[in-house]
Amino acid sequence: HPQQETRTFETEVQQLLHLMVHALYSHREIFLRELISNASDAIDKLRFEGLKNEELFEGQKEGRIRLVPDSEAGTLTIIDNGIGMDRDEVVENLGTIAHSGSRAFVDRLTGDEDQDVELIGQFGVGFYSAFMVADRVEVTTRRAGVDTSLGVRWESDGTGSYTVETIERAELGTAITLHLKDDAREFLEEAELRRVVKTYSDHIPYPVVLEGGEGEETLNEASALWARPRNEISEEEYRNFYAHVAHGDTDPLTWLHFHAEGTTEYTALLYLPSQPPLDLWQPEARHGVRLYVRRVFITDQARDLLPTYLRFLRGVVDAPDLPLNVSREMLQSDQQVARIRKGVVKRVLKRLADMAENEPDRYRKFWDNFGAVLKEGIPEDSANQDELAGLLRFHTSKRPDEWVSLADYKAAMRDEQKAIYYLTGDDLETLKNSPQLEVFKKKGVEVLLLTDPVDEWVVMHLSEYDGTPLTSVAHGDLDLGELESEEEKQVEEATEADYGSLVGTLKDRLGEAVSDVRLSHRLTDSPSCIVAGENALGEHMERLLKAANQ
């Protein structure tokens, strides 16, 4: 490495910095939340690595975040004794936008400051918010455990470039010095710092200490929120903690906070977001639930803690009986983790069922955002199939603008009806006008209209609901059973005799293109339609497989 080098920011970082500085003025105070949150994450990481190697702590095990305002110099410095960064990490983390959502961030900005400011944390671009209040930012840092000659100093004015150099640094961890803009000097005032920390960072599990004129003062509650009794936690504290675990989103749909005892003891505080996270459909999505063992952060990559169909949950699970030195790999096969997962799934599904029954509006919001994800549970989790089936909602031919549960559908079934009928396809408009629905309309039978790609898998795995089979209306030999009257059957037989020769001619003409031509009694307005054979895949499924090149 050259001793000192000047590097330019990635283009996207430059755009982002420009936006931060010019567009989000009225919410500038959140820079402190972001920097304290990073400091807290860094202490979490050191505590985790220190479990295996005590020497990394370099003698100071207690995590601590210090705020040092200096009115004369016009600077505010945020200091942590966390893991720190080496030179490569500094360049990687403070010069690029590491997370894949960077481009999307810029695209998603709406111009509405209230909305845009929420995006900062979610996109993993919190550090750059320092430039909302500072016209120069200096970072000095040293990774825990490396030689004191390998400290790093980073500096930038937040326009096009930054410098990095290797320096001597005795302390481990990171110090971030903000040279405050003239119009941001309120962040030198103790009262203002007190207020901002209390508002946004009260739940941070390490003390945030103000080093001011009167000596030291801890500004936050500094306890793990989830470990406190429910009735002692205010709604605001719950919401602020959510902003921490959900990277800035401040508006959860609801949350569950519970303690489980028995063979496996654990505490969970889980939030349902009110908006889908941006990476909901990305396979490498950030995992939203953080695993702690006796308040020591272990990982946010414990993918086995939750099934993927609950990947929208955000929050914390603290499992005191897991070994502290549990490795991320061990979690995969751990019996206790499997039991926690089972328990958490039950609780979440129960909560959703309660919400569906007692708070239909809220449940509707949930379903609009996450229904398509939850449905993945039907093929994935057969043990909870009944509970999941009860949570499903569909549009139907009679109620295309509503979300109808299978129980509602059954309640509205005609007496002679023996099956739950469905039709799958790409979009609701096409389905509503499908000729395959004609006979059902005529007979007043409701049909579920399924448009999500995952629906094909849902109906493949859900053969019945509460004793009633699910049947596709697109299958060739659809037997409407008692829905057909004797009279209709006789008319059908007569027509078959009349049109026998036409069917024969069509068969000859179409040849290999079709497997059969049949006279249908299902159509009332359209002359013909194409249907899938008895054992054939649904039309929509065929399209899906084709799309996947199978």
User: Is 240 annotated as belonging to a binding site?
Assistant: no
Q: How far is the CB of 213 from ligand ADP (least distance, A)?
A: 25
CB atoms under 10 Å from CB of 97, counted, come to 22
Residue 172 in contact with ligand ADP, rule: CB under 6 A: no
- Look up tokens 């309640």; give the residue: 411
Residue 126 in contact with Mg ion, rule: CB under 5 A: yes
Q: How far is the CB of 141 from Mg ion (least distance, A)?
A: 15
Closest CA to 474 of 524, 437, 429: 437
User: Is 14 annotated as belonging to a binding site?
Assistant: no
Closest CA to 82 of 166, 177, 172: 172
Q: How far is the CB of 529 from ligand ADP (least distance, A)?
A: 52
Residue 151 in contact with ligand ADP, rule: CB under 6 A: no
Q: How far is the CB of 290 from Mg ion (least distance, A)?
A: 14
Nearer to ligand ADP, 97 or 225 (CB): 97
- Interface residue with ligand ADP, options 50, 63, 69, 124 (CB under 6 A): 124
**Please, which of residues 9-38 interact with ligand ADP by CB under 6 A?**
34, 38
Residue 156 in contact with ligand ADP, rule: CB under 6 A: no
User: Is 34 annotated as belonging to a binding site?
Assistant: yes
Nearer to ligand ADP, 101 or 343 (CB): 101
Q: State the Rg of the chain over Cα.
A: 30
The Cα–Cα gap between 240 and 492 comes to 67
Residue 125 in contact with ligand ADP, rule: CB under 6 A: yes
User: Is 101 annotated as belonging to a binding site?
Assistant: yes
The Cα–Cα gap between 172 and 121 comes to 25
DSSP 363: H
The Cα–Cα gap between 201 and 223 comes to 11
- What percentage of the chain's residues is helix, strand, coil (to nearest 5)? 45, 20, 35
266-273/314-318 β-pairing: antiparallel
Give ∠ CA 253-255-256 in degrees, rounded to 5.
155
Nearer to Mg ion, 122 or 397 (CB): 122
DSSP 444: T
User: Is 377 annotated as belonging to a binding site?
Assistant: no
DSSP letters of 251-316? -EEEEEEEEE-SSS-EEEEEEEESS--TTTT-TTPPP-EEEEETTEEEES--GGGS-GGGTT-EEE
User: Is 158 annotated as belonging to a binding site?
Assistant: no
**Please, which of residues 219-248 interact with ligand ADP by CB under 6 A?**
247
Nearer to ligand ADP, 34 or 539 (CB): 34
Stretch of 82-90, 160-168, 418-426, 476-484 lying at the interface with ligand ADP (CB under 6 A): 82-90
> Closest residue (Cβ) to Mg ion?
126
Counting residues that bind Mg ion (by CB under 5 A) gives 2
Counting residues that bind ligand ADP (by CB under 6 A) gives 17
Find the farthest-apart pair of alpha carbons in the chain and give their distance in angstroms, rounded. 102
Residue 396 in contact with Mg ion, rule: CB under 5 A: no
User: Is 123 annotated as belonging to a binding site?
Assistant: yes
Residue 127 in contact with ligand ADP, rule: CB under 6 A: yes
Residue 248 in contact with Mg ion, rule: CB under 5 A: no
For residue 335, give both structure tokens. Answer: 């019996």
Q: How far is the CB of 466 from ligand ADP (least distance, A)?
A: 45
Residue 42 in contact with ligand ADP, rule: CB under 6 A: yes
The Cα–Cα gap between 138 and 90 comes to 12
The Cα–Cα gap between 432 and 214 comes to 71
Give ∠ CA 372-378-384 in degrees, rounded to 5.
125
Nearer to ligand ADP, 173 or 371 (CB): 173
Q: How far is the CB of 434 from ligand ADP (least distance, A)?
A: 46
Q: How far is the CB of 269 from ligand ADP (least distance, A)?
A: 20
| Residue 145, Ramachandran bin (φ over 0: left; ψ between -120 and 50: alpha; else beta) | left
Nearer to ligand ADP, 76 or 125 (CB): 125
Residue 388 three-state SS: helix
Nearer to ligand ADP, 89 or 157 (CB): 89
The Cα–Cα gap between 269 and 213 comes to 38
Write the interaction track for Mg ion spanning residues 30-69; mark x where CB under 5 A is met and - where it is not: --------x-------------------------------
Residues paired with residue 72 on neighbouring β-strands, in sequence order = none
Residue 174 in contact with ligand ADP, rule: CB under 6 A: yes
Residues paired with residue 208 on neighbouring β-strands, in sequence order = 65
Give ∠ CA 86-87-93 in degrees, rounded to 5.
85
Residue 58 in contact with ligand ADP, rule: CB under 6 A: no
CB atoms under 10 Å from CB of 380, counted, come to 16
- Interface residue with ligand ADP, options 13, 24, 30, 85 (CB under 6 A): 85
Stretch of 75-83, 192-200, 433-441, 471-479 lying at the interface with ligand ADP (CB under 6 A): 75-83
User: Is 100 annotated as belonging to a binding site?
Assistant: yes
User: Is 50 annotated as belonging to a binding site?
Assistant: no
The Cα–Cα gap between 127 and 33 comes to 10
Residue 93 in contact with ligand ADP, rule: CB under 6 A: yes
**What's the CA dihedral at 481, 484, 487, 492 to 10 degrees?**
-80
Answer with the entry of Mg ion, ligand ADP, none that 85 interacts with (C-beta below 5 to 8 A by kind): ligand ADP
The Cα–Cα gap between 23 and 28 comes to 10
Nearer to ligand ADP, 282 or 505 (CB): 282
Binding-site annotation, residues: 34, 38, 80, 85, 93, 100-101, 122-127, 174, 328
Binding-site annotation, residues for ATP: 34, 38, 80, 85, 93, 100-101, 122-127, 174, 328
- Interface contacts to ligand ADP, rule CB under 6 A: 34, 38-39, 41-42, 80, 82-85, 93, 124-127, 174, 247
- Interface contacts to Mg ion, rule CB under 5 A: 38, 126
